[in-house]
Each structure stands twice: as C-alpha cells, then as structure tokens.
Amino acid sequence: MALQNKKIVLGITGGIAAYKCPEIVRRLKDLGFDIRVVMTNGAKEFITPLTLQAVSGNPVSDSLLDPAAEASMGHIELAKWADLIVIAPATCNTIAAINAGLANDLLTTICLATAAPIAIAPAMNQQMYKAAATQENLKNLTQRSVAIWGPGSGEQACGDVGKGRLLDPAEIVELVQQHFMPEPAQSLLNLNILITAGPTREAIDPVRYISNHSSGKMGFSIAQAAKQLGAKVTLISGPVSLSTPQDVERINVTSASEMHDNALKQAPSHDIFIACAAVADYRPSNVSDQKIKKNDDDMTVTMIKNPDILADISALTEQRPFCVGFAAETQDVEVYARGKLARKKLDLIAANNVSVAGQGFNSDDNALTLYWKDGQHELPLANKQELAKQLVVEIIKHYNQAQ
C-alpha cells in the first residue's frame, strides 16, 4: 500500500491524553504519512507546539487569527490539503462544537471547511462520556459519516474507571492505515477467518521436545490485520511469547496433533483458513514417561508422521473453507510451493525463502510470493505487520473470485 504522500491533519485538543500525540505522529511519519498538527489553546496547556513541530517536521498551527498564515488563507489551505483529519484526543467540548457547526477556533473551522473524511478519537472522564449530551453529539456525527474511534476503557487520570480513555497510539495508527486500505479489503466485513501460527512441540520425554525456529510473528500479524479489516478471527497458536491481537479469539496448543484436532473442529464454521503455523512433520513414536538419562554416546528416536492439517481441511467435502497455505523454503521456492499447492489442492499459497538473511523466522521483516493455479504475485520485503495487511487484501481478492 502506498501511504507515502497521504496527508493527515492531526487535531489535538485540551485533554491529558495529549501527551500520547508525539507517539502518534512519529508512528505515522515512519509509515510515510505527511503530518500537519493543529492545536487548540487547551491542548497547549498539556503539550508544547515545539514538541509536535519537532516530531512532525512541520510548523504547528494553533491560531485562527495568525496574520502570517491567514495572508494565504491558512485555515482553508489546511482544509483542502488534508486527505484525512484525525482529532485525538477529542474532548467533549470540541465534539460538541463540531456537532453544532461552530467555527470558534482553527480546528473547528478546518472541520467545517474540509471535504476530507474526519475521524474523532474521544478522550474524557467516563461520566462525561456517558452524558446524554455527549452521546447525542456522537450519534449525530456518526450519521454525518464522521468516524468515531474508541474510546477505550480502564483507569483514568482522575482515578475513575470506565469508558473514556484515548485509544493507544498504535491503535489509532492502525485505524488510519485501515482507512487507506484498498477497496477489496472491505469485503472482509463479517467473514470468519481461521489462522494457525507459531511452532509445535513434539515431546521426547517430560523435559525434551523437538520444535523449530518459528516465532509466530507472521501469523499473529495476519490475525491482527484481518481483525482490523472487520473479520472475525480465530487464532490457533503453538507456544510463542506474543500478545493476542485485540478482539481475536485465541486457542493455545502445544503439539501438532492438538493443533490438528482444534483446526479440524473450527474449520467448517469459517470462510477462510490460513495455515501459517510451522507444524512439525514428524513426532517421536514413543514418549518416555520419565526423563531419558544420558547413558550412551548415541541415541535413536523413532519418528512417525504427524497428521497433515492443511491437507485434511482442504479435503473437506462439506463446509470447506477457502484454503491458504504457507511454504517456508530454503531453495527452489517456486517448485516446492507449486508442488504443495497442487498436492494439497489449495486455493492459494504464500511462499518465502527463509534462508535469506533478515526475513522469515524470528525476523520482524518478511517477503512473500503468492502462487495460485494460473499466476503469481510478489509481495516485497516489508515489516511483517505491513506485509500482513497486503497479504490479507490479496487473499480476499482471490476469495471473492472463487465465490
């Protein structure tokens, strides 16, 4: 996705959560967005314009009556410049002013003068948020196609606990990215997606096991991307040290057999199955009840084949989901990937060369090539979170074509 040259006006109002805004700006800039910050007088009581200028790389606008800016009709210029206006934090006062159509400061004037979409991230005391007037204002703005992002719940600066916290910077940045996602991604709404992720562990004895180097980062990033785009996501994960993406249902397993049983149980109720886990192909035929002592120089472990999760789900004759596989290879990537695509009768396969330094297992970056019966498509090296969003968009394109 080309996020470069997308223009964001970030409106900051007078709430304690304004301290989170430099992080929002920094993350957006890292993704290629061009940011202009507009502050209300109240916002400047919590954070300085100089701080926001330093992280955004642009002058901060804070006055409707700035002679230098208004010589070129500054407020109209910003209103026309923006591809998206995000107000975070949005106090109840600013929300009420926008709802009423007031233009009593630079930010509210820009909101009236723009044709760009507007998103509001409320942040206020939980009781102020629950107030009938605030709820009515938010309802009215929603009906005018203003996006309402949040608020979150939890302990507030005043000591209260409840709904009214500003969303975390990462969540706001993700919502901005989602806003600019290609149109096919919108087809994910109301779809059920099942994803496997991480390694499996095959026990030898109570303290030893056979596993692999999978970190689970790619599968978790796909789960997060799919959820952000509106899908209902179930994630079956092997042993990893990763946090569950927000609002994703997670099922923890250890062995390949456990993952197989859970995936086969869940698959018929899902529209798409993405097999991203690095599942052990074999397991020890006998698992010792006690720790095996080191007696000889050599040790022999007899292995038996694990059930093939992806092949078994792809072979379903009723309620079969759209099946997407992964192929982590070290050589002849296309040959092996296409062989797996045909052998397991998959709809789509994503292949990567894990022998390349800086991508694949335990890396934050990855690159993929998608293969299907009549074609292929390259997804170049990128952060796994960004790559996951691109991959989900491609999957939904092929899913729609198959329907």
Can you tell me the distance from the alpha carbon of 63 to that of 106, in angstroms, rounded to the nearest whole number?
6
SS (H, E, C) the chain: CCCCCCEEEEEECCCHHHHHHHHHHHHHHHCCCEEEEEECCCHHHCCCHHHHHHHHCCCCECCCCCHHHHCCCHHHHHHHHCCEEEEEEECHHHHHHHHHCCCCCHHHHHHHHCCCCEEEEECCCHHHHHCHHHHHHHHHHHHCCCEECCCEEEECCCCCEEEEECCCHHHHHHHHHHHCCCHHHHHHCCCEEEEEECECCEECCCCCEECCCCCCHHHHHHHHHHHHCCCEEEEEECCCCCCCCCCCEEEECCCHHHHHHHHHHHHHHCCEEEECCECCCEEECCCCCCCCCCCCCCCCCCEEECCCHHHHHHCCCCCCCEEEEEEEECCCHHHHHHHHHHHCCCCEEEEEECCCCCCCCCCCEEEEEEEECCEEEEEEEEEHHHHHHHHHHHHHHHHHHHC
| Residue 4: per-residue pLDDT | 59
List of residues 6+ apart from 358 with CB closer than 8 A:
365, 381
Fold of 183-402: Rossmann fold (3.40.50)
Can you tell me the distance from the alpha carbon of 8 to that of 37, in angstroms, rounded to the nearest whole number?
8
The structure tokens 């109209």 sit at: 76
Cα-Cα-Cα-Cα dihedral of 323, 327, 328, 332, to 10°? Answer: -170
Asked whether residue 192 carries a pLDDT value surpassing 90, the answer given is yes
Asked whether residue 187 carries a pLDDT value surpassing 70, the answer given is no
Asked whether residue 37 carries a pLDDT value surpassing 60, the answer given is yes
Can you tell me the distance from the alpha carbon of 98 to that of 141, in angstroms, rounded to the nearest whole number?
8
| Residue 196: per-residue pLDDT | 97
CA-based nearest residue to 307, from 339, 280, 325: 280
Q: Do domains 7-179 and 183-402 have the same CATH topology?
A: yes
The structure tokens 């099922």 sit at: 251
Q: Which CATH superfamily is domain 7-179 in?
A: Flavin prenyltransferase-like (3.40.50.1950)
Mean pLDDT, all residues of the chain: 88
Q: Which token pair is 103?
A: 């233009």
CB atoms within 10 A of CB 27: 18
Can you tell me the distance from the alpha carbon of 50 to that of 191, in angstroms, rounded to the nearest whole number?
45
Query: Who has greater pLDDT, 188 or 396?
Result: 396
For helices 92-100 and 132-143, give the axis angle rounded to 10 degrees: 50
Q: What percent of the chain clears pLDDT 70, i.e. is strictly above it?
A: 91
Asked whether residue 143 carries a pLDDT value surpassing 50, the answer given is yes
| Residue 171: per-residue pLDDT | 86
Q: What is the pLDDT of residues 253-286, one digit of tens each?
A: 999 999 999 999 999 999 999 999 999 999 999 9
199 prior amide bond cis, ω within 30:
no
Q: Which token pair is 145?
A: 């196609």
Q: What is the CA radius of gyration of the chain?
A: 25
* Residue boundaries of the structural domains of the chain: 7-179, 183-402
The structure tokens 């996951």 sit at: 388
| Residue 75: per-residue pLDDT | 61
378 forms bridges with which residues in the sheet?
369
| Residue 349: per-residue pLDDT | 96
| Residue 1: per-residue pLDDT | 44
List of residues 6+ apart from 114 with CB closer than 8 A:
79, 80, 82, 85
State yes or no: is 323 an active-site residue.
no
Contact present, 267 and 194 (Cβ < 8 Å) = yes
Q: What is the pLDDT of residues 62-102, one digit of tens each?
A: 887 666 555 444 567 889 999 999 999 999 999 999 999 99
| Residue 71: per-residue pLDDT | 45
Query: Who has greater pLDDT, 113 or 330?
Result: 113
Asked whether residue 366 carries a pLDDT value surpassing 60, the answer given is yes
Per the rule left: phi > 0, alpha: psi between -120 and 50, beta: everything else, 100 is alpha
Residue at 209: amino acid letter:
Y
Q: What is the pLDDT of residues 193-234, one digit of tens each?
A: 999 999 999 999 999 999 998 889 989 999 988 987 878 999
Q: What is the pLDDT of residues 97-117, one digit of tens each?
A: 999 999 989 999 999 999 999
- Nearest 5°: the CA angle 87, 90, 94 is 105
Indicate if the alpha-carbon torsion angle 54, 175, 45, 140 is positive or negative. Answer: positive
Can you tell me the distance from the alpha carbon of 211 to that of 280, in angstroms, rounded to the nearest whole number?
7
Range in 11-20, 162-171, 341-350, 367-376 the model is least confident about:
162-171
Active-site residue, selected from the candidate residues 21, 92, 111, 158? 158
